[in-house]
Copies of this chain bind each other. A is one copy, B any other.
Amino acid sequence: MSLKHGLLGLLNYGSMTGYELNKAFKDSLFSFWQAKASQIYRELDAMEGYGWLTSRRIIQSEKPNKRLYTITNRGKEALMDWLSAPEADIADAMRVKSAFLMRVFFAGETSKAQALDLLHAYREACLANCREMQAGHDAIATYETVVKDEKKSAYWKITLLYGEAFSQAGLQWVDQAIAILKEMES
């Protein structure tokens, strides 16, 4: 249910249209949650059904009409209830799900050269990720000037640090893995 709660969290900062929510989602939550616009619209519909938000149509002449979503008191309660019950998500946070590791597991069916290619490709992706992390810091700096709340932005930065820590861990792991393969007699 975290997509719904992510949307609640954003709407708690202020009313937005689905389009704006989609952009805010990409700018701020993308490093740990991804969602397509079509899914966001569907979830907003469901959330309106729960009474978590209300929507108001805004007719525009120059641009397409839009729909402004506003969080209700019920929605704020739902957000706070969720924030107070983190148990399930912590177990979940420990769980890795990776098609890439599935490939590594079965890489013994292919050649060592092919396996090394796979690991080198991962290595490049880690490096690219480390570089791109800067964009996240910039996005937070932008939001910081809008929301002006040091308490909030401290947490935002902590989530970004996670991405950095894990890109670096990936790099160290893949170098270790490459070393193991190179030392392997074959």
Contact = CB atoms under 8 A, between A and B. Distances in A.
Given A9-B105, A83-B114, A86-B118, A33 B97 contact: yes
B6 A102 contact: yes
Contacts of A126: 94
Nearest to A101: B32
Interface in A150-186: 150-159, 161-163, 165-170, 172-173, 176-177, 180-181, 184, 186
A97 B161 CA distance: 15
Interface in A69-104: 79-80, 82-84, 86-87, 89-104
Quick one: copies of this chain in the complex?
2
- By secondary structure, the A interface counts as helix
Contacts of A161: 173, 176-177
Contact of A106 (B83, B154, B162, B181): B83
A121 interface: yes
Question: Interface residue tally of chain A, by bracket?
Answer: 35 or more
B101 A34 contact: no
A110 interface: yes
A106 B166 contact: no
A83 B107 contact: yes
19 contacts: A80-B110, A83-B106, A83-B109, A89-B99, A89-B100, A92-B100, A93-B101, A94-B167, A94-B170, A101-B162, A104-B159, A106-B155, A108-B151, A108-B152, A151-B184, A165-B169, A165-B173, A166-B166, A168-B169
Interface of A: 2, 5-6, 9, 12, 28-29, 31-34, 79-80, 82-84, 86-87, 89-110, 114-115, 118, 121-122, 125-126, 129, 149-159, 161-163, 165-170, 172-173, 176-177, 180-181, 184, 186
